[in-house]
A and B are shown apart, each in its own frame.
Chain A
């Protein structure tokens, strides 16, 4: 229970209320399924437009999410009061658990197919070096996301489901989430530079 000393007297507060939430929002699963079916259909069609649509649309979403989380929402979240932060976390993080892997999968698989159509993924293409540079950036983002960001996301939600969550654990994990979101956000800027340069040539 949180205890705050005020002007020599000790005031005891009830622990912040945690709204009921699902760690994985089941209502979102059919939407994810639908998107993945669309992705399979786009790749199986062997046509340029569907894979270009998936790569550009989901790539834009990925970049926007990372930049927004890392540089706008993250710093705001860090300054909120604990009850507000808990409320925000229980509403935002379960959705992120479905949204981010779906967006990343769509962007990368459609991007690979787009690269086959347009050519830069093949060695010998004039823009091949740029594509390899983007592999390195995406690789670093994947390492950060898979080893720190995603596990922290899941662990925060599981901690909040406990009868008496430990605020210190939540704070540590949220800090980790926000910092890594900032790193991936910064790397997204490099991806933007490469992709727009590719688009321009």
Chain B
């Protein structure tokens, strides 16, 4: 299909999303009582680390088609920023504040960055023309 040797970006993204989902479930399943934020912070940090790992891995792919990556990723980023913005607004409107809000906001930021990255990668991994 393609001769390009590619890093396991999708697999890493799956783990990153799973960590965010686990963190989110941990927080919302405790509300409105006080939420111990330690587990969530660890999960979010691990998820963010995986986003950075994916970016570094992609940067190291020789001749990666960044043009087509950004052509898709920029619009996906816009769409997922709208979605994340609406979710953030709902959390704020419902009175979520302090540490809980900070962790949820970070989760949304990771979500809004990693989904477009994955979409851009899935498109750019296949070459424009085939031999």
Q: Which residues of A contact B (CB under 8 A)?
A: 24, 36, 39-40, 43-44, 101, 105, 109, 112-113, 116, 121-124, 128, 132, 135-136, 139-140, 142-143, 146-148, 150-152, 154-155, 158-159, 162-164, 166, 168-169, 172
Chain A contacts for B29, CB-based, 8 A: 123, 128, 132, 135
Task: Indicate if the CB atoms of A147 and B14 lie closer than 8 Å.
Answer: yes
- Cα–Cα distance between A155 and B119 once the two chains are bound (Å): 8
The residue in chain A whose Cβ has the minimal distance to the Cβ of B117 is: A151
Query: Are A147 and B72 within 8 A (Cβ)?
Result: no
Are A123 and B94 in contact, CB atoms less than 8 angstroms apart? Answer: no
Query: Which B residues between 88 and 103 are near A, CB-CB below 8 angstroms?
Result: 89-90, 93-94
Name the A residues within 8 Å of B89 (CB-CB).
40
B129: contacting residue among A44, A124, A155, A163, CB under 8 A: A163
> Which B residues are in CB contact (< 8 Å) with A143?
14, 17-18, 21
CB–CB B86/A151 < 8 A = no
- CA of A166 to CA of B22, assembled, Å: 37
Which residues of B lie under 8 Å from residue A155 when comparing CB positions? 119, 122-123, 126
Contact call B25/A40, Cβ cutoff below 8 A: no
Contacts of A139 in B (CB 8 A): 18, 21-22, 24-25
